[in-house]
Amino acid sequence: MAHDLPGWVAELTDPRRAQTLDELADRLVPLAEHAIDVSRRLQAQLNELNDPFKRDALYGRVERLKARAGEALEEITAEIAASGEERIERVWADWAERAGPDDRAAREQELRRRLDSDVVPALTKQQQDVAERVAGRTSAALEEATQTLLTRVEELAKAVTDLIHDVLPLAREGLSLASRISTLSSHARKAGRGPIPEELKDAGAQTARAFDEAVARLELEWAALGARSASVRAALRGAEESAFSQVTEEMTRCVEELAPEHVKALNEAEERARSLFDRPPHEDGAPAD
């Protein structure tokens, strides 16, 4: 939907409609300001486009990947530890349901001692072994994912640098045009008052056409840069997510590969624990009744 500005806007800003030298000078001023504003906005957008590729931003991106991978590894390690604790607690719960009140405290103390010496060390070693193997695979995957991320960011940075080099002259063109307009406005004021000489009138008309063409290019490039900036941000975010997924997928594969062995160790630990709980007290070294 078109939104037209009031008619007096063009009347007060178009140098070609000026009738006197003062009017010509007055109408040239906002054109210079407009050219400066568009050029500065374009330069600011170019700076914003380049910000994600500065050293600090790159360092932060790698650190975020490492931190997220570390958090995921901590979750897996906690799950591994919890799996063993759950087995022991399940056996304790079964024993508690069946145990009678007679000499229960002494029996429980003895069982805990036997668990700590016969079951827990082997179970802990198994959990540590699994956790270390997952951590090793995670470290290797993280290194590979980081390299992939850096390579992709470097490729994107090159494309953005080329884009900036192509667009930056346009921003400078706007500032140069603003300087020309300001100079013409100054000449118009120094020429005195009254009608506009043909030479200044032609210069004003040429300047107005140059302004229309230059600002149109700048505005179009500014709009296009906005879309490119959004695409670059999305690409960087996508590269980060892809790198993190690369790490978590390797972690998942590692856990799946180690799961049968770990479950077997848990079953053996649970079986060993139940064998302790099912023995009569005198077999655990406790005095017989």
Q: 34 in helix, strand or coil?
A: helix
- At 265, the amino acid letter reads A
Give the pair of three-digit tokens for residue 6.
Answer: 């009031």
Please give the Cα distance from 48 to 222 (Å, whole number). Answer: 12
Q: How confident is the model at residue 284, as a pLDDT?
A: 46
Six-digit token string for 162: 């080329």
Beta bridge partners, 20, equal: 195
Alpha helices, DSSP H, located in the chain: 7-13, 21-50, 55-98, 104-114, 120-190, 198-278
**21 contact partners, CB below 8 Å, separation of at least 6:** 188, 189, 191, 192, 193, 194, 195, 196, 200
Cα distances (angstroms) measured from residue 76 to each of 9, 68, 85, 269:
66, 13, 14, 20
pLDDT tens for the chain, 289 residues long, are 445 778 777 777 888 888 888 988 888 898 999 899 989 989 999 999 999 999 999 999 999 999 999 999 999 999 988 888 888 888 777 777 766 666 667 677 777 787 788 788 888 888 889 999 999 999 999 999 999 999 999 999 999 999 999 888 888 888 899 999 999 999 888 888 888 889 999 999 999 999 989 888 888 888 888 888 999 999 999 999 999 999 999 999 999 999 898 888 888 888 887 787 765 554 444 444 3
Q: What angle do CA 79, 255, 69 make, to 5 degrees?
A: 75
In the numeric block, the tokens 């390690």 are attached to 77
pTM, to two decimals: 0.74
| pLDDT of 1 | 41
Q: Are 29 and 211 in contact (CB under 8 A)?
A: no
How far apart (Å, rounded) are the C-alpha atoms in residues 289 and 282? 8
DSSP-based three-state secondary structure for 20: strand
pLDDT score of 3: 58
DSSP assignment, residue 154? Answer: H
Query: Is the distance from CB of 89 to CB of 273 less than 8 angstroms?
Result: no
Please give the angle made by the CA atoms of 186, 192 and 193, to the nearest 5 degrees: 115
In tens, the pLDDT along 205-226 reads 999 999 989 888 888 888 888 8
Length of the chain: 289
pLDDT at position 226 is: 86
What's the pLDDT at 285? 45
Would you say 39 and 175 are in contact if contact means Cβ atoms under 8 Å apart? yes
- Partners of residue 195 on adjacent β-strands: 20
